[in-house]
Amino acid sequence: MTTVIAALLILCILPISCAWIAGYHRHRQFGKVDNKEPRIQSQQLTGAGARAVAAQANSWEALAVFSAAVLALFISGVDLASVSTLALVFTALRIVYIPLYLANIDALRSLVFLGGYGICLYMFYLAL
């Protein structure tokens, strides 16, 4: 269970990490970070900065799906320790996903995404 909670913690940090990367690109592209209207400024980013914003959004979405899968397992009475390897692999895939997104390596990024999504679907299957 501790491994799954640690995975959740790491997955909660990933979107914020993407926001910091996007902030770096906002400063680089615009000369400053507009903290009064950060979302408007982020929408104007191009290149790696825009991809960092997209990776942040995708990281929140992945966190929601993974969290729901963990909750389903917990409610179903599945021992979370038995899915610790799945949680670690999912977390590793999400960590790899971000640099692939930033580097615009789209095909491999999509495969990594599908692998992580498949793990979540499998976790839901186990909960059934």
2-127 CATH: 1.20.120.550
Burial of 36-64, coded b for 16+ CB within 10 Å and e otherwise, reads eeeeebbeebeebbbbbbebbebbeebbe
pLDDT tens per residue, range 63-74: 999 999 999 999
Task: Please write the tens of the pLDDT for every residue from 26-74.
Answer: 999 999 999 999 999 999 999 999 999 999 999 999 999 999 999 999 9
Residue spans of the domains in the chain: they are 2-127
Q: What three-state secondary structure class fits 17?
A: helix
For residues 78-97, average pLDDT: 97
- In whole angstroms, give the CA distance from residue 111 to residue 40: 31
User: What distances in angstroms separate CA 84 from CA 60, 91, 124, one per listed residue?
Assistant: 21, 10, 14
